[in-house]
Structures are given as C-alpha cells and as structure tokens.
Structure 1
Amino acid sequence: MSPLTPTDLQRIFEKLDRNGDGLVSLEELKWLLDKIGHEFSPDELEGLVGKKNLDLNEFLFFWESISKQNNNRGDEEGEDGADVESDLAKAFRVFDLDGDGFITSPELECVLKRLHLRDCPSAKDCSAMICAYDTNSDGRLDFQEFKNMMLLTSS
C-alpha cells in the first residue's frame, strides 16, 4: 500500500462519508478496501473494526493499522513473525494480571508501577493509553488491540 498523507486520508474519508454525518459505515469502508484489493466479508470487517461506523480519527487509526500489517506481512510469515507473535503474547500475559484476556487501565498502572519507572504514568495517563488503542471502545485492550499498539509504537 502506498503511503498516503493525513490530508489524502481526510479527503478519502470525506468522499466515503456520502451522507456527511462525520462517520464512515462498514459498507463504505468495505467498498474502499475491495477497490484496493483487501477483501473482507462484512462479518470479518465488523470483527476487525469492532463497531458499525468510524469517525475520522478511528478511520486514520484503522488505515495505519492495515498499512502496518501489510508492510509487516512478509516478516510475520517466517520464523521472525512467529517469534514476534510469541513475544507479544508473553508480554500481554504480563499485563493481564487477572488472566481474563484483557488489559485494563488499573492493570496497566499496576504493572508500570512494579517496573519502578522514574516517571510512572498516572491512572489518568494509563486510561488515556488504553483509550488510544481501544478500537472497540470497551475500555480495555484485547490481545489484537495490544498487538496493534505494540507494532504501531515500535516503528
């Protein structure tokens, strides 16, 4: 996928938002993805996005995520990809203190405090970090959201 500027992406978003409500529906997003060769079933796309509509910021995050996945696809197919996935799963388990498959703001804060970071983030900062990558807006990170966060912030 060729790199697009934020201005390019905003223009694309505005074109997709046919009714001008500031949201792009999954149907509109699917149409775009089909046109550029990324075909998803409606159910797959809803599972990936986690909601029925995206605002501009969510659209930009989604685009960045699929661009990153596309760029890393070759790496993840080999042994290095399996190692990365395994390392991310181990890291996720460190933060998922109660083992429920999600990382909450209190869990993130607790682990960061245990690491004795010099400038340990506050509860508010931890909540903001969770919200920044919480694509389905449930207030916590599942493994895929955690993986996206780690892959996006490591580049």
Structure 2
Amino acid sequence: MLFANMCLLTATDLKRIFEKVDVNGDGLVSLEELNRLLQMTGNSQYSIEELESLVEKKSLGFSDFLFFYNSISEQNKGESKGSELESDLAKTFEVFDLDGDGFITSQDLESVLKRLGFWDQTHAKDCRTMIRFYDTNFDGRLDFQEFKTMMLLTKA
C-alpha cells in the first residue's frame, strides 16, 4: 500500500521529504510529485486520477501531506493486524485439522475438544451441527475459508 515500505517517520523526516518532493519549491506537492514519491517507495499502484479522488485536491500543502501520510500509516496498521489475524486463524485451523488434509471434520473437532477437556457425549450433535452450518459447499467438512467465516462470525 502507500508508504508501505517506509517505517513510521517523524514530522522532521516528513518535512525533509516534503521539501525534496516539492521540486519547484512552491510549498505544495502536486499529485504528479506525490505520484513520483509513491513510485520511488514501491507504491506505484495509483493513477493521478485515483490520487486526486483519494486526496480530493490537485496539490498538498505540508499539513495535507502529513494528514495523507498519517492516514496511510493507520491504514497499513490495520492491514498488518488483518494479516496477523489471518496467521492466527491458520495456526488454529492446523490444530483442528488433525490429519493435515486441509479440512476439519466433526470427528476432528470432537478429538480436539476431548484433548482440551471440553467434551462430553452431549456435544457430539453440536459438533455435527456446527460443521453443517458453516459447510457452504456441503461436503461434510470445513475448509480454511469456511473455518475462517465461522471464526469471524462467532467473534462478532
């Protein structure tokens, strides 16, 4: 994403970057200048029109530039949390996928619950019901996407 390759920068760092990017020295960074900066940092996925839509201006003063940077930094933090969540879900999925075939069956679920001490015979029907409820392709087991949906919906 934008500025993804940059670590968090201080206002002083950003002021120096702003001054270097402001090639004509008019105190404003045009969308073309901003786009050049994004390309230099490996973030060339936006057209000038997309940038204009994003910042809603033809050029940015320093305070606008700071706001833009902070917005993008916050967005990247959210993406990082999202990838951490994905990684955590994958690890959890592996715990329940006992035979490593990429699926969780009601038997897998029962086995793990027994190991954790959360199992008694009344839960057998619950495991089958839960698998059926989230099994969107009706194959009798959960793949990772179905498991992810189940975990994200039950967290809400």
| TM-score normalised over the length of structure 1 | 0.49
Bigger radius of gyration, 1 or 2? 2
| TM-score normalised over the length of structure 2 | 0.48
